[in-house]
């Protein structure tokens, strides 16, 4: 689950790097194909995105490196624009972006890609300073098996009423208790209110294949929240439930009242929003700091 509130950056303790206060934070925009990972977060004996990133960064920086991410993804979930942060020293601040990118590319496996580097204040957190996260879920519909979308779409052999799905989705927009739409054992004793800022369902085309896209943006998400929303919307799209049912499921505050959890492979962490000006291009910002 993702954090929502935290003191302002100026009120936080500056983390230490090598026993001295960090000079800044390095923020990386990361993409990954989720099929080969047991999720983002490090787990003993499991291959994870955080584990691979921290191994590469520790080797590159020649010290222990621990990252914080904007939103932890489950096993099998992909990302195009995950953001991770870690504090860096004054000497590390002098590293050119090209050297960072080339070095990390050589050290990371081919299912992880670092596409940009930014500089942020020393106490910055990719998790707690995020204003919103955006996910996209892809569904392939019809009797023909998807080809290029196979690894990142949920194949439903029937058609879907996309207009009904989009109508039903609007009941979830706003600040609500999403206890019905998260993994039951992850919500016990924890707050389950979140603000969904936008939720749209539409048809589109990628690489010559027709797909249904479910795009959702929120201040934060609960465990399996997006996939449960998508599974519930699919029940409406297939005609198993009417559009008003989603509002009833939301009000029930009971996981058993919502639909199934959609497969992980259709979900992509698409982006994260931070306060304007908080992240600055690495080379531009470090040039002013050096």
Which of 246, 244, 250 lies closest to 177, judged by CA? 250
What are the CA-CA distances from residue 1 to residues 36, 162, 224 (Å)? 21, 29, 9
Active-site annotation holder among 10, 13, 74, 166: 74
Do 113 and 79 contact (CB within 8 A), yes or no? no
- Cα–Cα distance, 221 to 52 (Å, whole number): 24
Do 199 and 172 contact (CB within 8 A), yes or no? yes
* Contacts of 265 by beta carbon, 8 Å cutoff, 6+ apart: 34, 35, 76, 77, 78, 151, 152, 153, 154
Phi, then psi, of 37 in degrees rounded to 5: -120, 150
The DSSP element (H or E) to which 175 belongs, if any, is strand 174-177
Tokens of 232: 């519930």
* Contacts of 274 by beta carbon, 8 Å cutoff, 6+ apart: 83, 129, 130, 131
Active site includes 74? Answer: yes
Which of 130, 17, 165, 26 lies closest to 86, judged by CA? 26
Phi, then psi, of 198 in degrees rounded to 5: -160, 140
Please, how many CA atoms are within 13 Å of residue 82, restricted to the half-sphere of its CB?
30
Do 129 and 6 contact (CB within 8 A), yes or no? yes
- Cα–Cα distance, 258 to 179 (Å, whole number): 10
**Would you name the residues annotated as active-site residues?**
74
């Amino acid at each position: 689950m993702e954090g929502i509130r935290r003191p302002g950056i100026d009120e936080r303790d500056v983390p230490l790097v090598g026993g001295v206060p960090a000079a800044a934070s390095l923020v990386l925009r990361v993409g990954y194909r989720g099929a080969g990972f047991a999720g983002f977060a490090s787990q003993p004996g499991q291959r994870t995105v955080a584990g691979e990133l921290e191994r590469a960064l520790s080797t590159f920086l020649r010290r222990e490196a621990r990252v914080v991410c904007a939103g932890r993804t489950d096993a099998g979930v992909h990302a195009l624009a995950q953001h991770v942060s870690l504090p860096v020293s004054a000497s590390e601040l002098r590293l050119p972006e090209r050297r960072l990118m080339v070095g990390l590319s050589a050290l990371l496996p081919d299912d992880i890609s670092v596409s940009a580097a930014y500089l942020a204040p020393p106490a910055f957190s990719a998790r707690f300073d995020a204003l919103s996260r955006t996910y996209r879920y892809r569904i392939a519909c019809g009797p023909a098996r998807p080809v290029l979308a196979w690894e990142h779409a949920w194949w439903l052999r029937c058609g879907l009423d996309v207009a009904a799905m989009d109508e039903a989705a609007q009941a979830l927009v706003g600040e609500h208790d999403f206890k019905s739409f998260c993994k039951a054992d992850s919500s016990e004793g924890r707050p389950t209110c979140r603000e969904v800022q936008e939720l749209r369902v539409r048809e589109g085309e990628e690489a010559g294949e027709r797909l249904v896209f479910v795009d959702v943006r929120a201040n934060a998400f609960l465990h399996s929240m997006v996939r449960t929303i998508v599974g519930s919307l699919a029940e409406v799209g297939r005609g198993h439930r009417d559009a008003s049912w989603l509002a009833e499921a939301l009000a029930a505050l009971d996981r058993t009242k919502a639909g199934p959890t959609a497969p992980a492979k259709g979900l992509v962490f698409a982006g994260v929003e931070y306060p304007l000006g908080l992240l600055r291009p690495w080379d531009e910002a470090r040039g002013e700091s050096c």
